[in-house]
């Protein structure tokens, strides 16, 4: 955000800054979702709903998850939230007491350790090898487990790496016997024939799924997410947290979610096809600039590139790129010590933005 704030200052002074830092799709949301939200507002659907979300939406989410995974999901285990971050908060609030530990693969989405700490917990980072495609290996996780470990966090596809975990990896992690919190927000945005399995496919008894509409349907501002609880009892405990913390997600936005699930697949397909092309374009461009990517990202819309040969201080390098090339990128240190010296690039942008940004960055990064 410090990079973004400086970018805004430069733009106010007349500079044209190109943004490869924000993790936000540049595509519009499904037209049916926009129409549904507008119609719901016009019809006065602006009241509280069931704290778990509209029954119709929970049924649609369960059906969609079954379609994508082959695993039946009980709608009563689905809890709708105002974005995926609240889903994350209630799950960690349920699992973590002060002093408890949560294991997560590194690099990681910055909010994971922040939510764990907010609940009084201690995040335990397990570094993932770039040359191994940032796979979260069970043997490394096992070595990090202690008597107060309460959960394992897995993101697939992942931010910032684009890594996709295999079903075998999920099964090995599930065999460790701890609850798994699986962030599947980027599911559906995978490339090169890859498939992102869900933790649900392992049959794990203590699996919490985090998902939502922001990335797959380009609905970031709608603030609509959900969690799938492992049991009816757990769902009830999460529901109580929802009742006390959030009451319910906005009613009219929930109708947009129903429409996205029913009619949004063309939007997802078009995004996936375009981002697949952009991925190849940015990988080639970064290679030409001398930045190393050991294994191409299989999902999401990010590349985490090794820039340690230029500067091991990723924050300093990101600001230098911003000041000298007017391109905003994300410093790797945002994603933990394991990503220091790396830069994250978001390629969910237009062809012109990407090509111009790569050209400008030659001023700083050209070998």
What does the pLDDT average to over 120-134?
95
- Which residue is it, tokens 């939502």? 212
What does the pLDDT average to over 78-82?
97
What does the pLDDT average to over 105-119?
96
CA distance 237 to 176: 24
List the chain domain ranges.
Answer: 2-23+266-365, 32-262
CA distance 43 to 63: 26
pLDDT at 244 over 80: yes
Structure confidence by residue, pLDDT tens digits, 137-169: 999 999 999 999 999 999 999 999 999 999 999
pLDDT at 366 over 90: no
Q: Quick one: pLDDT at residue 193?
A: 83
What does the pLDDT average to over 41-66?
96
Q: Is the pTM of this model over 0.85?
A: yes
Band of the pLDDT at 1, cuts 50, 70, 90?
confident
Torsion of CA 92, 96, 98, 102, to 10 degrees: -90
CA distance 195 to 188: 8
Residue among 171, 238, 176, 235 at smallest CA distance from 203: 171
CA distance 214 to 137: 28
Share of the chain above pLDDT 90, in %: 93
Structure confidence by residue, pLDDT tens digits, 330-342: 999 999 999 999 9
Share of the chain above pLDDT 70, in %: 100
109-122 burial code (b ≥16 CB/10 A, e <16)? beebbebbeebebb
Q: Quick one: pLDDT at residue 316?
A: 96
Structure confidence by residue, pLDDT tens digits, 196-225: 999 999 988 899 999 999 999 999 999 999
Q: What is the CA radius of gyration of the chain?
A: 20
CA distance 326 to 328: 7
Band of the pLDDT at 192, cuts 50, 70, 90?
confident
Residue among 94, 117, 93 at smallest CA distance from 104: 117
2-23+266-365 CATH fold: 3.90.1150
Q: Quick one: pLDDT at residue 183?
A: 97
Q: Quick one: pLDDT at residue 135?
A: 93
pLDDT at 367 over 80: no
Structure confidence by residue, pLDDT tens digits, 250-299: 999 999 999 999 999 999 999 999 999 999 999 999 999 999 999 999 99
Band of the pLDDT at 363, cuts 50, 70, 90?
confident
What kind of architecture, by CATH, is found in domain 32-262? 3-Layer(aba) Sandwich (3.40)
Band of the pLDDT at 194, cuts 50, 70, 90?
confident
Strand order in the sheet with 149-155: 78-81, 225-228, 207-212, 180-183, 149-155, 101-106, 122-127
As given in the structure block, the two tokens for residue 348 are 């969910």
What does the pLDDT average to over 94-122?
96
CA distance 357 to 367: 16
Q: What is the mean pLDDT of the chain?
A: 95
Indicate the SS3 state at residue 114. helix
Structure confidence by residue, pLDDT tens digits, 14-48: 999 999 998 889 899 999 999 999 999 999 999 99
Instruction: Write the DSSP assignment of 148-191 as a string of letters.
Output: TEEEEEEESS-TTT-----HHHHHHHHTT-S-EEEE-TTTT-B-
Q: What angle do CA 331, 339, 21 make, to 5 degrees?
A: 30
């Amino acid at each position: 955000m410090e990079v973004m704030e400086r970018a805004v200052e430069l733009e106010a002074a007349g500079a044209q800054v190109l943004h490869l830092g924000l993790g936000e799709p540049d595509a519009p949301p499904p037209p049916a979702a926009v129409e549904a939200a507008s119609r719901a507002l016009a019809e006065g659907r602006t009241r509280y709903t069931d704290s778990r979300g509209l029954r119709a939406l929970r049924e649609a989410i369960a059906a969609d998850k079954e379609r994508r995974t082959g695993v039946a999901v009980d709608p009563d285990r689905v809890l709708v939230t105002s974005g995926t971050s609240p889903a994350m908060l209630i799950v960690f609030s349920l699992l973590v007491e002060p002093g408890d530990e949560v294991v997560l693969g590194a690099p990681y989405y910055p909010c994971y350790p922040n939510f764990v700490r907010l609940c009084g917990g201690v995040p335990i980072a397990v570094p993932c090898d770039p040359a191994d495609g940032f796979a979260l290996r069970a043997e490394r996780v096992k070595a990090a487990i202690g008597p107060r470990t309460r959960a394992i966090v897995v993101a697939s596809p992942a931010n910032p790496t684009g890594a996709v975990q295999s079903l075998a990896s999920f099964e090995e992690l599930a065999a460790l016997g701890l609850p798994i919190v699986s962030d599947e927000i980027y599911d559906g945005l995978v490339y090169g024939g890859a498939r992102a399995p869900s933790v649900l496919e392992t049959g794990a008894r203590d699996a919490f799924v985090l998902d939502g509409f922001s990335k797959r349907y380009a609905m970031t501002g709608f603030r609509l997410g959900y969690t799938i609880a492992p049991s009816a009892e757990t769902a009830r405990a999460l529901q109580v947290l929802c009742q006390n913390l959030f009451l319910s997600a906005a009613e009219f936005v929930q109708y947009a979610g129903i429409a996205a699930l029913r009619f949004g697949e063309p939007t997802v397909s078009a995004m996936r096809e375009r981002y697949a092309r952009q991925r190849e374009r940015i990988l080639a461009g970064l290679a030409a600039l001398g930045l190393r990517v050991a294994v191409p990202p299989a999902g999401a819309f990010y590349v985490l590139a090794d820039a340690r040969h230029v500067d091991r201080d990723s924050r300093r390098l990101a600001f230098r790129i911003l000041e000298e090339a007017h391109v905003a990128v994300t410093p790797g240190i945002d994603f933990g010590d394991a990503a220091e010296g790396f830069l994250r690039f978001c390629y969910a942008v237009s062809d012109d933005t990407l090509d111009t940004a790569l050209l400008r960055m030659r001023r700083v990064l050209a070998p």
